[in-house]
Structure 1
Amino acid sequence: MIAVLGLIAGVVLGILLEPSLPPFVEPYLPIMIVAAIDALFGGCRAYLEGTFTDKVFVVSFVSNTIIAAGIVWLGDQIGVGSQLSTGVIVVLGIRIFTNAASIRRSLFHA
């Protein structure tokens, strides 16, 4: 219940305050969002399997987003940012669909 209230408060604050991102963060935001979605699906999967731990979830959420953004930043520095972005998206996409399939099997026993 606390998580839902926190989500609602965050959405309301975001609408009221209209935050903006610094320009240097904007290229990495889509990658960070996909990494965060991967962590969320992993957390849902762990919850359904009975192995969820809040510390592990928070660490994986933060580290996934930082590592994904770091890989893309490194690619930008050496001139292959778009290729590394594509690679990160593909890898995280595979993980998201794998976790989604596991969640589906857990929920529907199929």
Structure 2
Amino acid sequence: MWIPVMGLLAGVIIGLLTGLELPTAYNIYLVILILVMFDALLGALKASLADKFSNYLFITGVLLNLVFALSLAFLGEQLGVDLYLAPVFAFGVRLFQNIAVIRRQLLHRYQAAKKNEES
């Protein structure tokens, strides 16, 4: 579970240190990439807290979500339609759902640990 987080942190640090700038035409794709990665990390954290994490599901989920979301954005750009908004909305909703589930799982663990201390 910590390998994806460490990879993300290493990528952010390398990106900040290199000073590489992307053309503004790629901003939509970068936003979708960031949303897919955050969705994958929060989904992995949620699955890890529920003891259901699988590397294969994580990797295939990231790749398929990324390919599909970027394909929608590219198709929309070719057609002159803002289709990139569909994955942005979908991943935005999933981010908040995953955060809510993670919060509940952490609160249940905290309450269970507190009960065990009192007993």
The aligned residue for residue 84 of structure 2 is 85
Query: Partner of 1:25: helix, strand, or coil?
Result: helix
Shift of 1:36: 1.3
1:45, 1:99 within 8 Å by CA — same for their partners in 2?
yes
How far residue 33 of structure 1 moved from its aligned partner, in angstroms, is 0.8
User: Quick one: percent identity of the two aligned structures?
Assistant: 37
Counterpart CA distance in 2 for 1:12 and 1:36 is 16
Aligned partner of 2:115 in structure 1 is none
| Larger-gyration structure (1/2) | 2
Mark the CA change 1:86 to 1:56 in structure 2 (over 3 Å): closer, same or farther.
Answer: same
TM-score by length of 2: 0.73
What is the alpha-carbon distance in structure 1 between the residues aligned to residue 94 and residue 20 of structure 2?
30
Q: For residues 20-67 of structure 1, give each alpha carbon's deviation from its aligned partner in whole angstroms, at most 9, with x where no partner exists.
A: 436653331111111111111111111011010112212212222222
The one-letter amino acid of 2:103's match is R
One-letter amino acid of the structure 2 residue matched with residue 47 of structure 1: S
Say if 2:28 and 2:84, in contact at 8 Å, map to a contact too: no
Partners in 2 of 1:18 and 1:98 — Cα distance?
34
Aligned residues: 108
Provide the TM-score with structure 1 as the length reference.
0.78
Matching residue of 2:41: 40
Q: Which residue in 1 is equivalent to 2:104?
A: 105
Deviations 1:71-106 (A, max 9, x none): 1111111111x2x22222111111111111110110
Q: What is the SS of the residue equivalent to 2:22?
A: coil
Distance in 2 between the 1:87 and 1:94 partners?
11
Distance in 1, Cα, partners of 2:25 & 2:19: 18
> Contact 2:44–2:58 (CA<8 Å) still a contact in 1?
yes
Residue of structure 2 equivalent to 1:14: 15
Matched to 2:38, the amino acid is I
Q: What amino acid sits opposite 1:87 in the alignment?
A: A
